[in-house]
Amino acid sequence: MLVQSTPAEQRTVLHNITWETFEALLRDTGEDRSSRFAYDCGTLEIMTPLFEHENPKIQFDRFIAVLAEELGIEIKSAGSTTLKQRLARRGIEPDNCYYIQTEPRVRGRETLDLETDPPPDLAIEIDITSTSVNKFGIYSALGVPELWRYDGENLKFYNLGENQYVECEFSIAFPLVSVSEIRRFIQQSKSMGEIALLKSFRSWVRTKIG
């Protein structure tokens, strides 16, 4: 077992964890716990996010909401819902995830089962410190089409190609949005007030669609 502590995230990594143990931990710890799990074929990472991790998560969520509202797109926010497939022996709890293109298929649903339901169209991962599991492999196995990854300084967009992610400049879910533009606003969140930032972002979106 390895424990790593930083100002942004606390990580515990466990090896040789069976799928049944992973499922039992999910049941026993419940949905209200502060930690998040990532499971990759027997390796379980338990991450507890702290302030430096959580604030960008909130900003990204607000940006997605503004984009959807201004573009007139319906979305279904799934937050840090546990995404898992027994056959793939992989599971993960994103920082944020959203149904966008496939929103009509899950509208009104109170539970999700990736054995029968589609995966979210977009997931956001914030990893300020190095993760010990292959999150790209997990998301790829689950079939999540788009991934945004932020490490505290750099933001990258990835689209799922043939079983692997390819870095790209523009979002699939929001084609008018480039990674450089979102990166600029997320960097501004470090020095601007949150309301001022949101107003600035909304104004920018309106110029893009105007």
Question: Could you read off the pLDDT of 41-76 as tens digits, one per residue?
Answer: 999 999 888 777 889 999 999 999 999 999 999 999
The pLDDT tens digits for 174-195 are 999 999 999 999 999 999 999 9
The pLDDT tens digits for 22-36 are 999 999 988 777 889
User: What is the C-alpha to C-alpha distance for residues 186 and 146, in angstroms, rounded to an integer?
Assistant: 18
165 found inside a domain: yes
* Entry pTM: 0.90
The pLDDT tens digits for 131-148 are 889 999 999 999 999 999
Q: Specify the pairing of strand 83-85 against strand 90-92.
A: antiparallel
Residue 156 sits in a domain whose CATH number is 3.90.1570
163 found inside a domain: yes
Whether pLDDT at 150 is above 90: yes
Q: What's the half-sphere exposure (Cβ side, CA atoms, 13 Å) at 112?
A: 23
- For residue 150, give its domain range: 51-209
Q: What's the domain count of the chain?
A: 1
124 found inside a domain: yes
- The pLDDT, as a whole number, for residue 33 is 77
| DSSP-derived 3-state class of residue 12 | strand
Q: Which residues of 1-21 are buried (b: 16+ CB within 10 A; e: fewer)?
A: eeeeeeebbbbbbbeebebee
38 found inside a domain: no
Q: Provide the sign of the torsion angle of the four alpha carbons 97, 98, 101, 104, taken in this order.
A: positive
User: What is the C-alpha to C-alpha distance for residues 103 and 106, in angstroms, rounded to an integer?
Assistant: 6
22 found inside a domain: no
Contact 107, 117 (CB under 8 A): no
115 found inside a domain: yes
* pLDDT range class, residue 8, cuts 50, 70, 90: low
* pLDDT range class, residue 9, cuts 50, 70, 90: low
